[in-house]
Structure 1
Amino acid sequence: MWFLQVIMVFIIAVIIFVGGMIQGESQEREHQRNKHRLERMGGTDGTNKYMRVK
């Protein structure tokens, strides 16, 4: 019977690991999207090409 418990713990660990990988990839995509948005708006140097006063 103990081997069923070991198998269940292994399966749960795999599910948690896969869920963490999916969450990490999602956060990385969001980070890349925000980075590209910042770059399109002029970066983080304090200048904004859309709000520039001429």
Structure 2
Amino acid sequence: MTEHDNIIDVLKDLFELSDAKNITVDGKIATVEDLQEFYKESLVNLADLLGVSELYLGE
């Protein structure tokens, strides 16, 4: 997953991922865990851009 410099690009990626079909990781069909990791990475990127890293750091 790519780390973006702006909120709009993160949201675009999340929308594309939510509509994607036949997602693969390393040539294999993505598992639920793979998709969760993709979403989590994007949410962390979004939280960083919004300045609310405490959401995932547990502060």
Q: Which has the higher contact order (CA 8 A, sep 6+)?
A: 2
Whether these two folds match at TM > 0.5 is no
- Taking structure 2 as the reference length, the TM-score comes to 0.35
The structure with the largest alpha-carbon Rg is 1
Which structure: greater strand fraction? Answer: 2
- Taking structure 1 as the reference length, the TM-score comes to 0.38
